[in-house]
Amino acid sequence: MLKKQIIMFGAPGAGKGTQAKILAGKLNVPHISTGDILRNAVAQKTELGLKAKEIMEKGELVPDEIMVGIVKNVLFSDSCKEGYILDGFPRTLNQAKLLDEIIEQLNNGYPVIIKLLVDDEVIIQRLSMRRVCKVCGTIVNLNQIENPNKCPNCGAENSFVKRDDDKEEVIRRRLRVYHETTQPVLEYYKNKTEIIVVDGAQPVDNVTENILKKLDHSAG
């Protein structure tokens, strides 16, 4: 039986979100993106969501304790009874240690780590070509669509804009932060659980296939 408690790891632009969504569909478990659940908590005006909103409006980072509280609420919900795919969390050693306490309380077994390995220069090239349709919000890579001047989702022409966080100097800074803060988290997990490493530079379908093969092997 395939492991259904999964933590996705990888640098910004490595394809974590894409693979997490695909795997969630194939394994029939929820894809938990911390960015999404934070926005949901704010929208639903939960106690933690309101605290997070106040902090974000000041332009400050949401503290680990609040993020962990929000993640805990989701992991303990009925939707996660059969498993989950965590994407974007934990990002720091402190978050990993706090998550350990939740995993212990859940008593569902320890999640397996899937690390998508992509060279920094490939990520920079990939993200530099990323654009957002200002009409419908669809995110595309200009190298992967037929007409770079037309949105494949809504058909709007010349509607693509480049996000500030997809500019090269910002991407390099984000990668530096990732290597400094998130890499130690992987070291922390080395003695705790299995880490499945997959080449994330391959086409999307190949990456998914490799992940599922390795998960199957791991289950066997």
Catalytic positions are: 16, 91, 130, 163, 174
- Residue pair 103/7 in contact (Cβ under 8 Å)? The answer is no
- List the one residue out of 97, 135, 90 whose CA is nearest residue 113: 90
Whole-number Å distance between alpha carbons of 52 and 83: 26
- List the one residue out of 9, 13, 11 whose CA is nearest residue 125: 13
In 30-155, which residue ranges form alpha helices assigned H by DSSP? 34-43, 47-57, 64-75, 93-106, 120-128
Kindly state the tokens that stand for 198. Answer: 């997959």
- List the one residue out of 21, 28, 31 whose CA is nearest residue 1: 28
Whole-number Å distance between alpha carbons of 62 and 51: 9
- List the one residue out of 117, 121, 113, 125 whose CA is nearest residue 199: 117
Cα–Cα distances in angstroms (integers) from residue 202 to residues 45, 105, 184, 210, 211, in the given order? 40, 37, 25, 10, 12
- List the one residue out of 25, 29, 22, 34 whose CA is nearest residue 6: 29
